[in-house]
A and B are shown apart, each in its own frame.
Chain A
Amino acid sequence: MNIRSILIANRGEIAVRIIRAAKALGLRTVQVYSDADKDSLAVRMADEAIAIGPPVAAKSYLNIDAIMNAARQAKVEAIHPGYGFLSESADFADAVAADKMIFVGPSGDSIRLLGDKISARQVAEKAGVPTVPGSDGRVDNLDSARQIVTQIGYPVMIKAAAGGGGRGIRIASTLEEFERYFPQASAEAASAFGDGSLYIEKMIESARHVEVQILGDGENFVHCFERECSMQRRRQKVWEEAPAFCLPESVRIALCDRAVALARQVKYKGAGTVEFLYDQKTQEFYFIEVNTRIQVEHTITEEITGIDLVQEMIRIAGGAKLSIKQNDLKAEGHAIECRINAEDPAKEFMPWPGLVDKLEIPEGDGIRFDTLLYPGYSIPPFYDSLLGKLIVWGTDRSDCLVRLQRALQDFKISGVPTTIPLHIALANDEDVSKGEFDTKFLEKWLATKFTVASNQNEEVA
């Protein structure tokens, strides 16, 4: 591998995770930091740390010039972008390459191709990956619309091409409804957006979010099985599981196979995730998007496969061939990740930064906590509220849930409110135990079943 030193262009728990992986590979680690992060765990752990600007991310973690200056100053061979920030910036990947350094991830062109919704959908179709059935663009009149709907079946969503954020959407369950709503939707779109054009998409009523972890070295491609990430609030994942227990074996195999086909189609290099919607009623799956970076929930895949994905992506970036063959890969047991956020579940998940004075972290077989915390750390208000991820492995899903319940009971973070009480309630919920949930479950459940006293410190309130 032609990497001896690496700069981490990120912060928080993922920076800590990358430093650990890089050190295990014997690399010199260089952490960049904003003024708000000079006391961060990542800065303490790295071999070197370089200040890159003020707390505002636009002037530090999103500032390509500042990061490239730090990389030149530190004379590193490679830059790991983590997730968020510049991790899916094709321009950043290009800038790193232009400076004769290695971007730990796919090329700028790959990021561009897969980052654009329309070109990514085209790639998926070419690779034989099913996409959500629909009109593939605008529909001009009711006649052609009727033809499309007859093909894809009900219910369908009629959406305004110029709309967004859920506005201008109508749902039709019969032809009669469709014929009534279509002109209404067009008129409404014309007056609301100044553009009456519509498009049509099949509505997936009870959808699961499933995703496949892929690895590629540009020539060889494998999947590391899949994850179930339907437990979401405001489109943010809260709790993730691996494998996706909701899938029948034949569907699971097809899903992973299609994800590898997509990776092969673009000669993918690095670690990536292909996201899908899964329709529980019809057992069909549909491509959503590709994330060309390491994901927050990569940990549960590591727990069931025994692969260190962050080390693997650094090795690939360093020119090594994929060290794993598909046939050698086995998924063993079950893993769940709970995102622990500095948010108050009793106050509509209001984020709450502050000083963490005491930390009691659960320990034991199959328990892992990836975090940015240490006792006495003051969480800055400038970045997202993720404090860490509790990851629990068990021999099967029910064993995993039992271990998770115990781990959560032993888990204390004092000084700030956290989402631990939410996870305790979820881990003890009957529907969750049965595995019966979809992407709409959590918000309904929070509104009807979840009550919690504030776990905020009294002196703060």
Chain B
Amino acid sequence: MAKIEIKSPIPGTFYRKPSPDSPHFKEDGADVADGDVIGLVEVMKTFHEVPAGVSGKSIKFLIEDSEPIMAGQVIAEVEA
């Protein structure tokens, strides 16, 4: 099955949840729709939502919560 990569548009710190006490935006294995938010990137004191940008099945995150991320780095993969 074809895999689609979801990349970070900006560099910063990647978060999988909206606040420290919240559940993840998406758990591994979940299905995602185009407009679903899958994480946040904090850069220079501002927070930016990362939309999935694709529809797919069984998302697999390749980066942990609170980890630094580069622009263009793959955040997750989904099955088309």
Q: Do A and B bind each other?
A: yes
A interface residues, Cβ below 8 angstroms from B: 342, 350-354, 381-385, 460
Known contacts A350-B10, A353-B11, A381-B12; is A342 also within 8 Å of B44 by CB?
Answer: yes
Chain A residues contacting B45 (CB-CB under 8 Å) are 351, 383-385
Is B11 a contact partner of A350 (Cβ separation < 8 A)? no
Across the two chains, which residue of chain A brings its CB closest to B48?
A350
Asked if B71 contacts A381 (CB within 8 A), the reply is no
Closest to B44 in A: A351
> Which residues of A lie under 8 Å from residue B71 when comparing CB positions?
460
Q: How far is the CA of A385 from the CA of B46 in the complex (A)?
A: 10
Instruction: Determine whether the beta carbon of A384 is less than 8 Å from that of B44.
Output: yes
CB closest chain-A residue, reference B66:
A56
Question: Closest chain B residue to A343 by CB distance?
Answer: B44
Which 7 pairs of residues, A with B, have the shortest CB-CB distance? A351-B44, A385-B44, A381-B12, A381-B43, A351-B43, A384-B45, A381-B11
In the complex, 19 of the A-B residue pairs with CB atoms within 8 angstroms, ordered by the A residue number, are: A342-B44, A350-B10, A350-B43, A351-B43, A352-B11, A352-B43, A353-B11, A353-B43, A381-B13, A381-B43, A381-B44, A381-B68, A382-B44, A383-B44, A383-B45, A384-B44, A384-B45, A385-B44, A460-B71
In whole angstroms, what is the CA distance A342 to B12 when docked? 13
B21-48 at interface with A (beta carbon < 8 Å): 42-46, 48
Q: Which B residues are in CB contact (< 8 Å) with A350?
A: 10, 43, 48
Nearest-Cβ distance from residue A208 to partner chain B, whole angstroms:
27
Give CA–CA (A384, B48) in the complex, Å: 15
Residues of B within 8 A of A342 (CB): 44
In the assembled complex, which residues on chain B have CB atoms less than 8 Å from the CB atom of A381?
11-13, 42-44, 68
> Which of A342, A350, A383 has the most chain B CB atoms closer than 10 A to its own CB?
A350
Q: Given A351-B44, A353-B11, A383-B45, output 11 extra A-B contacts at Cβ < 8 Å.
A: A342-B44, A350-B43, A351-B43, A352-B10, A353-B12, A353-B43, A381-B44, A382-B13, A383-B44, A385-B44, A460-B71
In this complex, which of A351, A354, A381, A383 has the most chain B Cβ atoms within 10 angstroms of its Cβ?
A381
Chain A residue nearest in CB terms to B68: A381
Q: B1-25 vs A: 1/0 string, CB under 8 Å? A: 0000000001111000000000000
- In Å, the complex CA distance between A354 and B10 comes to 10
B residues less than 8 Å from A351 (CB atoms): 43-46
CA distance A383 to B68 in the complex (A): 14
What separation, in Å, do the CA atoms of A352 and B11 have in the docked complex?
7
Q: For the complex formed, measure the closest distance between the CB of B64 and the CB atoms of chain A, giving whole angstroms.
A: 16
Interfacial chain A residues near B42, Cβ < 8 Å: 381
What 1/0 mask marks residues of chain B from 67 to 79 whose CB sits below 8 Å from any chain A CB? 0100100000000
Cα-based distance from A382 to B68 in the complex (angstroms): 10
Q: Give CA–CA (A350, B50) in the complex, Å.
A: 14
Q: Which residues of B contact A382 (CB under 8 A)?
A: 13, 44
Cα–Cα distance between A144 and B46 once the two chains are bound (Å): 43
